[in-house]
Chain A
Amino acid sequence: MKKFLQEFLKGVFKENPTFVLVLGLCPTLAVSISLINGIGMGIAATFVLLGSNIIISMIRNFIPDRIRIPCYIVVIATFVTINEMVMKAYSPALNRALGIYVPLIVVNCIVLGRAEAYACKNSVVNSFFDGLGMGVGFTLALILISGIREFLGVGKLFGHTIVKGFEPVLVLSMPSGALLLIGLLLGFFNLINKNKP
């Protein structure tokens, strides 16, 4: 049990996909404008990660080595399609807000990265926990970034005004501000990790 917990926590902290591996920055920059978008994107990516990790580790012994990437993509695309259909049916507003970035999860480097680096070499249960950890890590990073961006850039959280009279820092709701913020957070987490023994 402890080993599984380790696999899970690894994705959240030590190998956090956004702040340590620096993967999946494109959706991070694009959808982190509001907290609800960030959470939605995080959950969608976690679902795809879990599904693709499990299936790929199941069939890892049957996939010919030379065409493994197309095989992974087919598996990933299946889950992304399921995900998009469910989203369209049950939360069309979120689907509209995330737009093109939902189908683009297919080429999200976190998903393909975990398939290539982990799921194709490890057992199903391990891959499950790896996918879950990575997904949760990605979601937490998105919550942090989109929370700061929505609070400072628009002056709201979940669409509600928090502090009256606060003049929002408009630049943070723009892509340039997102880049600045991610750079600063990256530096901050590097600083913390550096000081750890």
Chain B
Amino acid sequence: MKNKLIVCASPHLHKDESVSRIMWMVVLSLVPCGIAGVFIFGLSALWVITLGVISALVTEAGLQILSKKKVSILDGSAFLTGLLLAYNLPPHVPFWIPVVGSFFAIAIGKQVFGGLGQNIFNPALAGRVFLMASWPKYLTTFTQPLNYDAVTQATPLALLKEGKLLGDFSYLKLFLGVRGGCIGEVCILALLLGALFLFIRGYISWHIPLTYIFTVGVLTYIFGGSQGLFSGDWLFHILSGGLILGAFFMATDYVTSPLTRKGQIIFGVGCGLLTAIIRLWGGYPEGASYAILMMNAAAALIDRFTKSRVYGTK
């Protein structure tokens, strides 16, 4: 009977959840789109994922040993960062790209700030943007789907930007992921399966992802068309690029998004606004990663302005 009776202050509700459990659940929810990515792009994608994850774990352990902290690579957060970074890379990058990217993501994106829970920016996206700024050649070379010989092909959004899109992507093809793109972003079906799992378990709420996707849809419908206003192909914009992956799995990162519900809606709308602006008028074909990073920087401010009133105070 010893230790069965715990005397403590209220609230006495107990939920059998922990940070590391949630992290591993998110990893689990990301497995389907990884399998889809490997199926679509071949074994090279599996190598990129493996190297990204291993590098993230080794970096985390190494830095924690160096700074004499408790080694916490089993809590799943470094695993998740490495996995998400690899999902954001084209399938045929040189082997050192995911290694360097994961190192940067963990070392500069996370541990420099003090580790899990302290970072301002989503580490995986920080790693991706670092790679994008340093070796753009490799990060913008995509390959044909279902053709395992690494034949290059531009992404639908890049073709759209160059005005070379000739209707060769049906919505079904985009939904199933038969297109050029990053490993984890292509198969919308698998991403939605994972997201549904997270919704049902209550790990993410609708506030960020749905407002994000809705804003992108509305803006691309109004301004994205070539025949004047209100003629844009909004479904195409939602189904292509990294929007779904970003909206459900990266914009919802607990550490780098606002805590309040109202703040999360502002955050989602802001991400959508920036993504649409970059896609329609910016220099890059896709802007989800930059949009989320910029809103990450604003998350603390949003929280401050949407703080709810404590009951009983003015």
By DSSP majority rule, is chain B's interface helix, strand, loop, or mixed? Answer: helix
Stretch in B3-11, B132-140, B183-191, B294-302 with 4+ CB within 8 Å of A: B132-140
- The interface bits of chain B over 105-134 (1 if a CB of A lies within 8 angstroms of the residue's CB, else 0) are 000100010000000000000000010011
| A174 adjacent to B133 (CB under 8 Å) | yes
In the complex, chain A residues whose CB is within 8 Å of the CB of B133: 170-171, 174, 176-177
Whether A23 sits at the interface, judged by CB under 8 Å, is: no
Nearest CB in chain A: distance from B139 CB, A: 11
How far, in whole Å, are A170 and B108 apart by their CA atoms in the complex?
17
| B134 adjacent to A170 (CB under 8 Å) | yes
Whether A104 sits at the interface, judged by CB under 8 Å, is: no
Q: How many A-B residue pairs have CB under 8 A?
A: 19
Whether A94 sits at the interface, judged by CB under 8 Å, is: no
Max chain A C-beta neighbours (<10 A), residue from B112, B133, B134: B134
| B108 adjacent to A167 (CB under 8 Å) | no
Whether A169 sits at the interface, judged by CB under 8 Å, is: yes
How far, in whole Å, are A32 and B134 apart by their CA atoms in the complex?
18
In the complex, chain A residues whose CB is within 8 Å of the CB of B134: 168-172
| B112 adjacent to A167 (CB under 8 Å) | no
Measured as residues with beta carbon below 8 angstroms from the partner, the interface class of chain B is under 10
Whether A159 sits at the interface, judged by CB under 8 Å, is: no
In the complex, chain A residues whose CB is within 8 Å of the CB of B130: 171
In the complex, chain B residues whose CB is within 8 Å of the CB of A172: 134
Whether A5 sits at the interface, judged by CB under 8 Å, is: no
In the complex, chain A residues whose CB is within 8 Å of the CB of B135: 167, 169-170
Nearest CB in chain A: distance from B283 CB, A: 15
Q: Which of B135-156 contact A (CB under 8 A)?
A: 135-136
Nearest CB in chain A: distance from B165 CB, A: 29
Whether A180 sits at the interface, judged by CB under 8 Å, is: yes
Whether A187 sits at the interface, judged by CB under 8 Å, is: yes
Residue ID in chain A nearest B129 by CB atoms: A171
- The interface bits of chain B over 26-41 (1 if a CB of A lies within 8 angstroms of the residue's CB, else 0) are 0000000000000000
In the complex, chain A residues whose CB is within 8 Å of the CB of B108: 180, 184
How far, in whole Å, are A180 and B104 apart by their CA atoms in the complex?
11
Residue ID in chain B nearest A174 by CB atoms: B133
In the complex, chain B residues whose CB is within 8 Å of the CB of A167: 135
How far, in whole Å, are A187 and B134 apart by their CA atoms in the complex?
23
| B136 adjacent to A170 (CB under 8 Å) | yes
How far, in whole Å, are A78 and B108 apart by their CA atoms in the complex?
43
| A187 adjacent to B112 (CB under 8 Å) | yes
In the complex, chain B residues whose CB is within 8 Å of the CB of A176: 133
In the complex, chain B residues whose CB is within 8 Å of the CB of A170: 133-136
Nearest CB in chain B: distance from A176 CB, A: 7
10 tightest Cβ-Cβ pairs between the two chains A and B: A171-B133, A171-B134, A169-B134, A170-B134, A171-B130, A170-B133, A167-B135, A174-B133, A170-B135, A180-B108
Residues of B within 8 A of A (CB): 108, 112, 130, 133-136
| Interface pairs (7), CB distance under 8 Å | A167-B135, A169-B134, A170-B135, A170-B136, A174-B133, A184-B108, A184-B112
